[in-house]
C-alpha cells in the first residue's frame, strides 16, 4: 500500500502539474539542497512502488504513470488516513480534533503523550498551526498552567476547519450506511449533480455532523455569502436528505453551508435571476481593481469583466469557504505572462481586503490567463508593416519560402524587398527588421541583423534573431530605452539591483517611487526564475513614453531565495501603455525567454560588447 508523507504528496504534485521540471526549480520551491532533493525523488519512486516512476531526461524530470487508478487515489488523499504521527499534517489533524472536542483547556503534556512526540516537536506544531489558522480567523489560545484552547471568530469556520484539517485523516461511518448512500445517489442522478459537487456535499455533511457533535451550530448568516441556487424541489429534497443523514433539524445557515458547493461553479441548479443580480453587484467590486491599478495598459476593464464575471463570481464563493480548485496549470505562468500576473495579483489583493479572506494562490494563474487574453487582444491593434530585405543571387522559390516562413511567425504584414547586390541595398536609407543574404555583406545600418539564407530553414534560430531585431528596432525608434551594466557579485541580487534603480532615478530614467514599488514587489513574491534569470519589473511613473530595459550581468552566480541569479532584466513599464508600447513590452518579455532557453544567446549576453548593437547576441546561435 502506498504511504506518502506530506513531502511526498507535495513533490508528487509538482510532477503531476508540470510536463517536466528541473532540479533547480524543485530545490527553489522546497528550499533544500540538490542532494536532499535527489534523496526525496528516490524516496518518492520507492514509495510509489510501480504506480508511477520519476524519470530524468536532458536535465529535466518527469513522471511516467503506470496505474492511473491507483495514482488518482493517492492524489485525492484517500491514502492519507494510513499515515502515522510521524507526519506533521496528521498531528495537526489530531490536535484540532482534540481541541474541538474539548470543553476545557488541554494540557500540552496530554497532547504530547497522545501523539508520542516531544514537547519541542509539539510546540513547533502548535506554532505552525497558529500560522495556518490565521486565515480561518481561528486561534489556539494558551494559558499558563492550563494548556491550550481553540477560539473561532465565526461558527461556520468550525466545520471548515474539520474539512481542511481533519477530514482526510479521520474517517467516520456517517455515510457508510447503504440506505443513506442510496438516497444521496438517487438525488444526484435525478437532479444531474456532477461528481465533483457530490464529493463536496459529502465532505461538508461529515464536517458539519462532527461540528454539531462537538457542540458547534451555525446560528448566524455566513458573512458575504449569497444564495445563488433556484429554490424548488431539488433544494428541498437535498436539504431534507441532509437533515436525515445528520440526524437533527438544521438551521437555514447550516443548509447554506451544506449547499455552498452549488455556488463554486456553473451547474443546472443555479437561479439565472440571482446570478445576474450578483454579477451586477460584483462589478462594483471589480471596479476597485481598475481604481487600484497603477498603470494604464489601454485596457477596457468593463470588457474584461464581461469575460471574467462568472469566474469572478465563483472565485469569490470558493474563497469564502476556503475551497481549493485543482492545480492543472503550470507554476511558471508568472514567467510567461508577467504583466497579466501583476493584474491577477492586484485583483486577488482587492478581493482579500474586501471580503477579509485568503485566496488560494492557484486562483492567480486562472485570473492571469483572462488578463493575458485581454492584453493579447489589446496589443493586436493596427497591424504594422515589417520590412525585410533579401540580397544576392537567390531563386524565386526560396524568396517565396522566406516570405511564407515570416508570415507563419508574425501576424503583421511583411514587406520583402529584393536586391541583386549590396550596392543596390546600400543606396536605400532604410532600417530593415532583417536582411537575408547568400554571403557575408556590410550594411551601413549596423543595428540591422544580416543572416544567411539558411536561417530561414531553421525556425527557432530565425525566431530568435527576429525577436532581438524587434527590440533593436524599438531602440532605434526610441520606444525602448536600453542599457547594459556589469554588476558586482559581492553586492548580491537585492543590493546590486537597488544600485541600478537608484542610478536610473538619478538620471531621470525612472520615477522616484520606482524603488519603493520594486522593494514592495520583492517582498510579495520572487522575481527570480529558472536558468539564473531575474525579471524585476515595476510600473514607472516618470512620464517617459517608452519601455526601459536594463540588462545587468553578475561576474559569477549569486544566490537569492535558494535560486541562482546571473542575469537581471530590469524592466520599467510606463503607466500608460498604448498599443505599440504594449507590443514592445511583449517583445521584451519574448527576448527574456529567448535568452533563458538558448544557451548561446545567454553566453553572448554575458560577453556583451557595449560598443556594438544588441543584435550581436544572436551571433553564432
Instruction: Let me know how long the chain is.
Output: 621
Give this prediction's pTM.
0.66
- What is the C-alpha to C-alpha distance for residues 586 and 372, in angstroms, rounded to an integer? 11
Neighbours of 368 (CB within 10 A): 25
Higher pLDDT, 621 or 53: 53
Helices (H), 102-230: 108-115, 119-133, 157-161, 178-190, 195-213
Residue 381 has pLDDT above 60, yes or no: no
Average pLDDT, integer, range 204-212: 93
pLDDT for 129: 95
| pLDDT band with cut points at 50, 70 and 90 for residue 211 | very high
pLDDT for 250: 96
Residue 319 has pLDDT above 70, yes or no: yes
Q: What is the CA radius of gyration of the chain?
A: 29
- What is the C-alpha to C-alpha distance for residues 168 and 458, in angstroms, rounded to an integer? 52
**Least confidently predicted of 80-89, 107-116, 587-596:** 80-89
What are phi and psi for residue 436, nearest 5 degrees?
Answer: -95, 135
CB-side exposure of 334: number of CA atoms within 13 Å? 18
Distance of CA 233 to the CA centre of its chain: 40
| pLDDT band with cut points at 50, 70 and 90 for residue 529 | confident
Yes or no: say if 331 and 18 are a contact pair by the CB < 8 Å rule: yes
pLDDT in tens, 459-512: 677 778 888 888 988 998 899 999 999 999 999 999 999 999 999 999 999 999
Yes or no: say if 72 and 49 are a contact pair by the CB < 8 Å rule: no
Averaged pLDDT of the chain: 86
Helix axis angle, 233-246 to 252-259, nearest 10°: 100
DSSP secondary structure code for residue 326 in this structure: P
Going by their DSSP bridges, the two strands 385-391 and 413-419 should be labelled as parallel
pLDDT for 201: 94
Residue 81 has pLDDT above 80, yes or no: no
Residue 123 has pLDDT above 90, yes or no: yes
Helix (H) / strand (E) element for 435: namely: strand 434-437
- What is the C-alpha to C-alpha distance for residues 208 and 164, in angstroms, rounded to an integer? 12
Higher pLDDT, 456 or 540: 540
pLDDT for 77: 58
pLDDT for 57: 83
- What is the C-alpha to C-alpha distance for residues 570 and 496, in angstroms, rounded to an integer? 11
Yes or no: say if 455 and 461 are a contact pair by the CB < 8 Å rule: yes
Residue 348 has pLDDT above 90, yes or no: yes
- % of the chain beyond a pLDDT of 90: 42
pLDDT for 130: 94
Residue 318 has pLDDT above 60, yes or no: yes
pLDDT for 171: 66
Give 250's contacts (C-beta < 8 A, 6+ positions apart): 239, 242, 243, 258
Place of cell 527588421: 433
- What is the C-alpha to C-alpha distance for residues 85 and 549, in angstroms, rounded to an integer? 52
Place of cell 538619478: 506
pLDDT for 13: 77
Residue 149 has pLDDT above 70, yes or no: yes
Instruction: Reduce the DSSP state of residue 107 to 3 states and report it.
Output: coil
Q: Per the structure block, which three cell numbers stand in for 170?
A: 479521520
Residue 296 has pLDDT above 70, yes or no: no
Q: Per the structure block, which three cell numbers stand in for 609?
A: 560588447
- What is the C-alpha to C-alpha distance for residues 235 and 603, in angstroms, rounded to an integer? 64
Yes or no: say if 550 and 19 are a contact pair by the CB < 8 Å rule: no
pLDDT for 548: 95
Pick from 181-185, 258-262, 468-472, 575-579 the range whose average pLDDT is largest. 258-262
Going by their DSSP bridges, the two strands 60-65 and 21-22 should be labelled as antiparallel
Q: What share of the chain is helix, strand, coil (3-state, %, to 5)?
A: 55, 15, 30
pLDDT in tens, 40-49: 999 899 888 8
pLDDT for 68: 77
Give 377's contacts (C-beta < 8 A, 6+ positions apart): none
Q: Per the structure block, which three cell numbers stand in for 512?
A: 522616484
Instruction: Reduce the DSSP state of residue 38 to 3 states and report it.
Output: helix
Yes or no: say if 148 and 117 are a contact pair by the CB < 8 Å rule: no
Yes or no: say if 335 and 355 are a contact pair by the CB < 8 Å rule: no
pLDDT in tens, 411-463: 556 788 888 888 888 887 777 888 888 777 777 777 677 877 777 777 677 77
- What is the C-alpha to C-alpha distance for residues 312 and 326, in angstroms, rounded to an integer? 17
pLDDT for 505: 95
Q: Per the structure block, which three cell numbers stand in for 176?
A: 457508510
Residue 174 has pLDDT above 80, yes or no: no
- What is the C-alpha to C-alpha distance for residues 109 and 107, in angstroms, rounded to an integer? 5
Residue 553 has pLDDT above 90, yes or no: yes
- What is the C-alpha to C-alpha distance for residues 263 and 269, in angstroms, rounded to an integer? 9
Higher pLDDT, 112 or 30: 112
pLDDT for 263: 96
pLDDT for 368: 85
Higher pLDDT, 588 or 20: 588
Amino acid at each position: 500500500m502506498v504511504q506518502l508523507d506530506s513531502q511526498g504528496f507535495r513533490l508528487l504534485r509538482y510532477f503531476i502539474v508540470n510536463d517536466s521540471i528541473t532540479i533547480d526549480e524543485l530545490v527553489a520551491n522546497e528550499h533544500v539542497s540538490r542532494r536532499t532533493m535527489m534523496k526525496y525523488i528516490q524516496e518518492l519512486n520507492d514509495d510509489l512502488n510501480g504506480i508511477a516512476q520519476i524519470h530524468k531526461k536532458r536535465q529535466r524530470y518527469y513522471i511516467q504513470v503506470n496505474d492511473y487508478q491507483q495514482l488518482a487515489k493517492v492524489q485525492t488523499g484517500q491514502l492519507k488516513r494510513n499515515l502515522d504521527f510521524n507526519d506533521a499534517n496528521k498531528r495537526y489533524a489530531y490536535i484540532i480534533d482534540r481541541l474541538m472536542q474539548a470543553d476545557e483547556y488541554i494540557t500540552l503534556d496530554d497532547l504530547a503523550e497522545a501523539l508520542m512526540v516531544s514537547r519541542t516537536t509539539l510546540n513547533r506544531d502548535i506554532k505552525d498551526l497558529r500560522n495556518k489558522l490565521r486565515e480561518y480567523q481561528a486561534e489556539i489560545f494558551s494559558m499558563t498552567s492550563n494548556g491550550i484552547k481553540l477560539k473561532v471568530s465565526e461558527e461556520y469556520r468550525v466545520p471548515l476547519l474539520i474539512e481542511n484539517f481533519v477530514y482526510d485523516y479521520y474517517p467516520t461511518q456517517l455515510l457508510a450506511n447503504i440506505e443513506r448512500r442510496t438516497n444521496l445517489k438517487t438525488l444526484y442522478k435525478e437532479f444531474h449533480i456532477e461528481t465533483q459537487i457530490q464529493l463536496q456535499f459529502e465532505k461538508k455533511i461529515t464536517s458539519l455532523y462532527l461540528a454539531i457533535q462537538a457542540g458547534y451550530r451555525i446560528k448566524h448568516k455566513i458573512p458575504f455569502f449569497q444564495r445563488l441556487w433556484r429554490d424548488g424541489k431539488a433544494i428541498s429534497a437535498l436539504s431534507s436528505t441532509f437533515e436525515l443523514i445528520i440526524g437533527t433539524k438544521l438551521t437555514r445557515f447550516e443548509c447554506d453551508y451544506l449547499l455552498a458547493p452549488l455556488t463554486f461553479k456553473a451547474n443546472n441548479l443555479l437561479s439565472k435571476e440571482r446570478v445576474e443580480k450578483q454579477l451586477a453587484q460584483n462589478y462594483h467590486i471589480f471596479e476597485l481593481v481598475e481604481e487600484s491599478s497603477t498603470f494604464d495598459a489601454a485596457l477596457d476593464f468593463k470588457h474584461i469583466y464581461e469575460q471574467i464575471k462568472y469566474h469572478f463570481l465563483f472565485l469569490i464563493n470558493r474563497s469564502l469557504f476556503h475551497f481549493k480548485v485543482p492545480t492543472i496549470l503550470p507554476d511558471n505562468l508568472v514567467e510567461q505572462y508577467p504583466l497579466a500576473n501583476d493584474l491577477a495579483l492586484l485583483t486577488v489583493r482587492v478581493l482579500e481586503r474586501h471580503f477579509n479572506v485568503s485566496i488560494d494562490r492557484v486562483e492567480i494563474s486562472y485570473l492571469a490567463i483572462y488578463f493575458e487574453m485581454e492584453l493579447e487582444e489589446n496589443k493586436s491593434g493596427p497591424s504594422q508593416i515589417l520590412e525585410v530585405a533579401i540580397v544576392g543571387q537567390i531563386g524565386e522559390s526560396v524568396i517565396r519560402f522566406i516570405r511564407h516562413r515570416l508570415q507563419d511567425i508574425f501576424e503583421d504584414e511583411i514587406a520583402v524587398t529584393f536586391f541583386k547586390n549590396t550596392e543596390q541595398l546600400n543606396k536605400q536609407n532604410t532600417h530593415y527588421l532583417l536582411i537575408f543574404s547568400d554571403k557575408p555583406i556590410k550594411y551601413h545600418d549596423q543595428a540591422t541583423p544580416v543572416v544567411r539564407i539558411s536561417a530561414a530553414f531553421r525556425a527557432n534560430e530565425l525566431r530568435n534573431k527576429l525577436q532581438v531585431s524587434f527590440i533593436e528596432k524599438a531602440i532605434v525608434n526610441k520606444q525602448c530605452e536600453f542599457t547594459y551594466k556589469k554588476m558586482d557579485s559581492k553586492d548580491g541580487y537585492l543590493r546590486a539591483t537597488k544600485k541600478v534603480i537608484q542610478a536610473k532615478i538619478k538620471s531621470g530614467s525612472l520615477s522616484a517611487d520606482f524603488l519603493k514599488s520594486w522593494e514592495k514587489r520583492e517582498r510579495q513574491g520572487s522575481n527570480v526564475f529558472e536558468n539564473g534569470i531575474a525579471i524585476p519589473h515595476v510600473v514607472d511613473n516618470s512620464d517617459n513614453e517608452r519601455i526601459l530595459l536594463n540588462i545587468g550581468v553578475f561576474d559569477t552566480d549569486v544566490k537569492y531565495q535558494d535560486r541562482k541569479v546571473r542575469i537581471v532584466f530590469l524592466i520599467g513599464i510606463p503607466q500608460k501603455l498604448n498599443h505599440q508600447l504594449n507590443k514592445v513590452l511583449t517583445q521584451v518579455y519574448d527576448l527574456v525567454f529567448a535568452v533563458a532557453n538558448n544557451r548561446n544567446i545567454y553566453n553572448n549576453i554575458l560577453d556583451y560588447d557595449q560598443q556594438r548593437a544588441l543584435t550581436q547576441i544572436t551571433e553564432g546561435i
